[in-house]
Amino acid sequence: MCLISICGVNYSCSDDYDLDETTPDFLGASLYDELKSRKDRSFNTVIRLIDDLGYQPVLSATGSKTLFVADDDAWARFFASGTWKDGNGNPITSYEQLSINQKRFLFKNAMLDNAYLLEMMANVTLNSVLSKNQCLRQGTAYMATDTVPYWKYNELPVMLNEPDTTGTAATVSDLEWWNGTDFWGRRNIQSAGGMYMSVDGTSGMMTHFLEGQLKEKNIKHSDVNFILNGKEEWSESQNRSYIYDRQVVDADVVCMNGYYHVLDEVLVPPSSMAEVIRQNPSTSYFSAMLDRFSAPYYNSTLTANYRALHDIGTDSVFEKLYVADNNSRGGLTVDPDGHTLSANFPKLNYDPGWNQYSVNSTTAKEQDMAAMFVPSNDAMMYYFTKGSGVILMERFGKVPVNQINESNFLENLYQIPLDIMKSLINNLMKTSFIETVPSKWKTIMNDAQDQMFPPSQYGSEEGYRKLFDKVMLANNGAVYVMNDVISPADYASVIAPALYSTNTQIMKSLVQADDNFIEGSSAFANAPLQKYYSTYLKAMQSNFSFFVPTDEALYNHGLVDPYMFSLNRTAANIQRLRYWSFEYVKPSTSNTTGKVIPVQATARTWNPNGQRDATVDPTARGVAINRATASLTTEWGLVKKTILTEMVDQHIVVHNNNEADGVASSPNWYLSRNGAPVFIKTKGSDKYGTGMVVDGGFQLMQNSDDVADNDEDCNVTAGYDQTGVKTAEDGSKEKTYGNGMTYLIDRPMQPMMYSAYHQLNANSEYSEFLKQCNGVSTELLQRAGFDLVKPDSAMAARDWEKERQKYLIFKEASSTFFTPSQEPLVRFFNNYHYTIYAPTNTAMEQAYAAGLPTWDDIDQFIANNIDSLTIPAPNPNPAGEDPERDAAIQKKYQLQQQAMAMCTSLLNFLKYHFQDHSIFVDNITADNEYQTSCVDNTTNAYIMLGTHQTNGALSVTDNNGNTHSVISPYNILANDMEFTRSVAQGTYATSGCVKVNSNVVIHTLNSYLNFMSKSSWNQSGGKFSGAWATPKKAVAFVKQYRIRK
């Protein structure tokens, strides 16, 4: 006896069994004959469908088919319900009323072109490998050519938005052309009559809920029950199977040419998510917004195939497509007229009308489908007239919000621009049905990758479920109909006002520049700015103050070019100063393709002793233009990119926990994203920043010079509360969804443009400190023995060049290191923000009195003790001993150890006055510790400074336990900028830009900071000089405090 398995069913055979002439008893007759002869159930209606559609030969012959059928009792209930309509809108109450297309739709959507046992339908072949329990959907026998409805003109979408502008496709942006053309408007007029249009050109799919796949994907029975609107309670211990919302009541009926499975009701397969949303009266507003992204596209293949099967004369067949990143065509790149849609054209995440939707190119369409969280009409009305969306209606609506009612709501909703409406819709479109079932509600994320339904708001799964009125199952996903609108982070975050204000188009372009370059291995390389501001500013757990210069501010006042500002101040060079004036250029395919931004930059001459105003200053002639179509990788394009990104960075302030009220908190000084200080010169009189004046370092520099005509401040012109904090009637506050405040300003801020060296050199009180910082020489370091690897052997030249850099405080300009006005920069600053505590000359004298050497002292020590030491010539006998020479070398080495200790002491003393992190004399009370540039090698840690801030005062506690008060002048700003090319080479024809910049604040100390610990200080006898009193002490000191970087 042997066992043979076919499709998972085992049967026995004997030696005398003839496969060619005998059919196993359990196979039964053909699908057609089995259905026709079944005694316990009547399937006459199904048989009529098969006969009418001419499928009797197919289902009687050999082959492999799977049918899902309902008995005549179920069909009787179907006709009695009257839920289906005929072409005239009348309820279908009998079989005879069904059209041939309706019959084809019902029958072919219930048939699979392969033979499946029910449990085997959960399996799918992926990359030629059978994957168990991975299948959620199966392709049916239904084809797009089976039924293409004829749409009357008044059944087609109607666009109610006002056209953005007039013009041709060549003179306006692609979005303006789309809004102004109204592709539906050509068809929804009475003279057009109507059109043949498929709502999707791909074949049908069947969704099933089978036990194996549910368990594999951690989908609970209660999830399915909720999705099916509580059709029947389903405990987790029960085993059921559903095809959509129809339960399988009799599975795996084996026939000669396949299987059939009996359902409890007639299978009426739903259409796509887009269609079920359109057909549901309570979601018509949302459907209308979806339709704004759609258009009828001529489909030549569908037209030819449909004409071959149906008599439609010369009519064409169109396909309703949605402009989306993911659709049946791989993403639309043209409009119905063939005009190119740019990369910046607002697109949906995916086409909600796509039957064969797949999550991505690596996930088979059978494995998953989509989900949409769609607000009801009531929810939409409330959100945009009374809720969080009211600001959009106030901004874009045609009438005041208090005049909006059901009769005019939709028309006003249409006026919200497509790129702004996109944010709301895409936030509600989820790519995976499997990951959005109710039991996984805590892991559903919004557009900022935050919890879309935070437990703090909804409490539990039961509380979450109360958010929904019902669920509509479609053939490509599930539609959860909500009684609320979930705001996207684009609306709730500080980015929102920049997106929907008419006078912030430049900032909008900058913050969204990289949005289309997130996924893919080459995305970052192709991103225009490579800053991803939109993602950064949608960090909803942060607290931002976002300052947004208006378009007028960036055009009229622009941004001073720091490269050209850094020229040596000669009369000739003054005439070469320039600032950049910026203009927004409406997006088109030419300025959104490649590394470009829709912003034009014009370089204008500038007198630093006066105002800059592109509209009124007769000297402000354009000298160089970088157009919106120019690549940001070119010389001028890189300048534009660098200046604008530095500007955006300076206008973003991220607050700490002590600044809960943002810039309305007690401090006046804040650090921006790039470390540039932001000074609140005048606090606003209310939370919206009314009357607020804010300055960057450049403004403070201009305002503090001797010229009155070049003073400038940045004034807040409008404020927007994006904190998400709501105040109840009892005064209590509740944090909902938001991340800070946004302020529009009439002039952009810029950082200080003078270097730390320049600022220290400008104050004679710092002259001794600066002299020592700048006093070390390579020659002295070599004489002290820093180039030795052992007493009588120096390191290689290349190694020494690297080693000697560690002992420099300032790095000089060179042929490869380009600095402002050829001034030196602090060597160990690196694109961060810092504090320099500058000791006065009096403080330096105190340090010298405590044994701190100067470079002159060290030079004298070396001259007197090392340079004067004579080393005998080597013994001519290589094999003999040379004690006299060895003793001299050892003596020199010991003296060099002392010289090295002197250098190490002075260098650490100087570097200890340079602190990581900028800190200000301000209206704040705080205690902190910060790293300096010194290292204690015994603990392998940076030596710290303790700071104590009180209102208007700052004190510093050093490593020796001494506390020092900062005195005036303080809060002196500086900025160490390294450029991409020598400033001396800069002309109006060539330019450079900032490569690295480090923002600095300088405070004055009338006493010095001691880097030595108490124990080290005591061991040195309370003197710096005690550290090198003997060679042994010198070796120990250098070992502990050697310069590491």
- Nearest C-alpha neighbor of 447 from the set 427, 433, 420: 427
Q: Do domains 2-144+202-263 and 756-874+881-1041 have the same CATH topology?
A: yes
| Sign, Cα dihedral of 931, 933, 936, 939 | positive
What contacts 48, CB < 8 A, 6 or more positions away?
Answer: 95
Token duo for residue 295: 């258009």
CA atoms within 13 A on the CB side of 514: 23
| Sign, Cα dihedral of 552, 557, 559, 561 | positive
User: How far is 181 from 341, CA to CA, in rounded Å?
Assistant: 14
Q: What does pLDDT average to in each consecutive run of 10 residues of the chain (1045 residues)?
A: 32 35 64 93 96 95 92 97 87 94 94 94 89 94 90 93 65 77 90 91 93 95 94 87 96 94 96 96 97 95 91 92 91 89 89 94 93 98 93 93 95 94 96 97 94 92 96 97 95 94 95 89 92 95 96 95 78 72 80 82 82 57 76 90 97 94 96 97 95 97 83 94 81 82 97 96 97 94 89 86 92 90 93 97 98 97 90 73 83 92 97 98 96 94 97 97 98 96 69 90 98 94 95 94 90
pLDDT at 678: 98
DSSP string, 716-784: EEEEEEES-EEE-TTS-EEE-S--EEEEEESS------S-HHHHHHT-GGGHHHHHHHT---HHHHHHH
Cis peptide before 969 (omega within 30 of 0): yes
Which DSSP symbol is given to 310? S
Residue 140 near residue 108 (C-beta atoms within 8 A): yes
pTM for the model stands at: 0.85
CA atoms within 13 A on the CB side of 723: 20
User: How far is 670 from 654, CA to CA, in rounded Å?
Assistant: 9
Residue 43 near residue 71 (C-beta atoms within 8 A): yes
DSSP string, 158-226: ---SPPS----TTTS-HHHHHHHH-TTTTTSSGGG-EEEEES-SS--EEEEE-HHHHHHTT--HHHHHH
Which DSSP symbol is given to 866? I
- Nearest C-alpha neighbor of 712 from the set 614, 609, 618, 642: 609
* Other beta carbons less than 10 A from residue 17's beta carbon: 11
User: How far is 559 from 599, CA to CA, in rounded Å?
Assistant: 14
Residue 594 near residue 573 (C-beta atoms within 8 A): no
How much helix, strand and coil, in percent to the nearest 5, is found in the chain?
A: 30, 25, 45
User: How far is 49 from 407, CA to CA, in rounded Å?
Assistant: 45
Q: Strand, coil or helix: what is 151?
A: strand
Residue 82, Cβ density class (10 Å: 0-12 exposed, 13-18 middle, ≥19 buried): exposed
Superfamily for 2-144+202-263? FAS1 domain (2.30.180.10)
Q: For the chain, what are the domain ranges?
A: 2-144+202-263, 278-293+348-492, 506-745, 756-874+881-1041
Residue 1008 near residue 839 (C-beta atoms within 8 A): yes
pLDDT at 196: 94
Q: Strand, coil or helix: what is 14?
A: coil
Superfamily for 756-874+881-1041? FAS1 domain (2.30.180.10)
Token duo for residue 989: 């024809």
Q: Strand, coil or helix: what is 295?
A: strand
* Other beta carbons less than 10 A from residue 93's beta carbon: 14
Residue 222 near residue 234 (C-beta atoms within 8 A): yes
User: How far is 703 from 710, CA to CA, in rounded Å?
Assistant: 7
* Other beta carbons less than 10 A from residue 255's beta carbon: 21
User: How far is 859 from 873, CA to CA, in rounded Å?
Assistant: 25
pLDDT at 128: 85
* Other beta carbons less than 10 A from residue 1041's beta carbon: 23
Residue 98 near residue 78 (C-beta atoms within 8 A): no
User: How far is 4 from 570, CA to CA, in rounded Å?
Assistant: 98
Residue type at 26? Answer: F
CA atoms within 13 A on the CB side of 979: 29
User: How far is 546 from 953, CA to CA, in rounded Å?
Assistant: 28
What contacts 584, CB < 8 A, 6 or more positions away?
Answer: 505, 506, 509, 551, 598, 599
Which DSSP symbol is given to 946? E
8 to each of 112, 120, 216, 963, how far by Cα in Å? 18, 8, 20, 84
Which DSSP symbol is given to 25? G
pLDDT at 609: 79
Token duo for residue 597: 């931004």
User: How far is 869 from 792, CA to CA, in rounded Å?
Assistant: 14
- Nearest C-alpha neighbor of 775 from the set 856, 845, 853, 842: 856
User: How far is 881 from 878, CA to CA, in rounded Å?
Assistant: 8
pLDDT at 166: 54
Cis peptide before 24 (omega within 30 of 0): no
- Nearest C-alpha neighbor of 910 from the set 842, 1023, 808: 808
Q: Which residue has the tokens 């970052």?
A: 524
Residue 681, Cβ density class (10 Å: 0-12 exposed, 13-18 middle, ≥19 buried): middle
802-813 per-residue burial string, b: 16 or more CB within 10 A, e: under 16? eebeebbbbbeb
User: How far is 354 from 272, CA to CA, in rounded Å?
Assistant: 7
User: How far is 908 from 22, CA to CA, in rounded Å?
Assistant: 99
User: How far is 773 from 777, CA to CA, in rounded Å?
Assistant: 11
